[in-house]
Amino acid sequence: MSGLLLAIVGLPLAGALLVASLGRQRFVDPARVAAIVAAAHLGLVLLVAGALGSGHSPLALDWPWVPALGVRFALHCDGLACVCALLVAVAGLLAILRADGSPAAAASGASGPALTLAAVALLQGLVLAADLVQLVMCWEASALATSLLVGATAGNAAGRLAARVGAAVAGGGGLALLVAVLLIGDAAGGYLLSHLARPGSVLRVYPLYPLLLALVLAAACSRLVLWPLQAGVPARSPAAAGAGLLHAATAMVAGLYLLLRLENALGGTAVWRRGLAFAAFATFVASGAAVLAGPEWLLVAWRRLLGLLQRRGADRRPAGAPP
């Protein structure tokens, strides 16, 4: 049964490579191939969910990766990971079916379905990761993949700019998560999630616990705020709507999964409760502002920033220098 975990991550990744190799074939529709792969992938996740529901012990897979640094390629599937994996699989299949047959999907060829499957594979690696370093890598790579997908299928400048802003926000959250993981490794003596499941978490008495908590909350909020940012941009085609669905749904899953996974190790303190309340309020305010301002505020802010940089550059140019 443990091999199913590798199949859940590997099948959409192999499907993405297959779909990308098809290109613009006349006799093979890349979107249909991607839909078949996504449906098979969903079947694998349902098979694992059925095994866990029937009383099977949580599935685990652990291979050495970088032994010198204590990093391992480890997958683990318990109830929380299975629910999140199921949500990712359903969102991926719906995104592919939503875009199938649309003019934008036909124009993009195999890039849209391939990016969708690649994003699904990376997100499954995130929710099934049992090693925190592996989780950070999948966190950053999945944010980049979903942002590329949104940018490739967007039919307007606001949509493409929203994808770039979303990638920057999620990337900044990934850097915060990387620093937090390094601190966790220093405190717990390893990067495996099993180290955090031991009784009496050492993280709560860690001297840098407030900083660690702030970094984790910042990383989670960087994903949670992407849903209203994407929702404020109107979809101009079914392909863009499918990409936005995957981007928003998986961003919510990733942010909530991080908080729920680390709650046992970091929660239970007054600092955790206050920090969580503040992060929720800040995310709510930022999300409401993004939705109420509409998608055009991104273009206005971007143009003003470019104009300010150009004026600064012109002021610092020596006299007589060519423009």
Domain ranges of the chain: 3-312
In this prediction, residue 39 carries a pLDDT of 92
Low-confidence residues in the chain, pLDDT < 70: 1, 23-27, 99-110, 153-159, 162, 197-201, 226-242, 244-245, 286-323
In this prediction, residue 40 carries a pLDDT of 93
| CB proximity list for 15: less than 8 A, separation 6 or greater | 33, 34, 37, 38, 41, 117
In this prediction, residue 300 carries a pLDDT of 55
Terminal alpha carbon distance of the chain: 66
Q: What is the CA radius of gyration of the chain?
A: 21
How many whole angstroms separate alpha carbon 21 and alpha carbon 30?
9
38 DSSP β-pair partners: none
In this prediction, residue 316 carries a pLDDT of 54
Do residues 232 and 163 touch, judged by C-beta distance below 8 A? no
How many whole angstroms separate alpha carbon 7 and alpha carbon 139?
19
Q: Which residue bears the tokens 């291979």? A: 63
H helix or E strand, kind and range, residue 59: strand 59-66
How many whole angstroms separate alpha carbon 133 and alpha carbon 141?
12
Residue 100 to residues 104, 108, 110, 132, 272: CA-CA distances in angstroms?
Answer: 9, 11, 11, 35, 44
In this prediction, residue 128 carries a pLDDT of 92
Do residues 148 and 157 touch, judged by C-beta distance below 8 A? no
Phi, psi of 36 (to 5 degrees): -65, -45
Q: Which residue bears the tokens 């029937």? A: 54
How many whole angstroms separate alpha carbon 298 and alpha carbon 6?
40
Do residues 196 and 188 touch, judged by C-beta distance below 8 A? yes
Do residues 79 and 92 touch, judged by C-beta distance below 8 A? no
Q: Which residue bears the tokens 């999964």? A: 257
| CB proximity list for 295: less than 8 A, separation 6 or greater | 158, 159, 162, 232, 233, 234
| Pair of tokens at residue 321 | 């220098």
DSSP 75: E
In this prediction, residue 146 carries a pLDDT of 82
In this prediction, residue 103 carries a pLDDT of 46
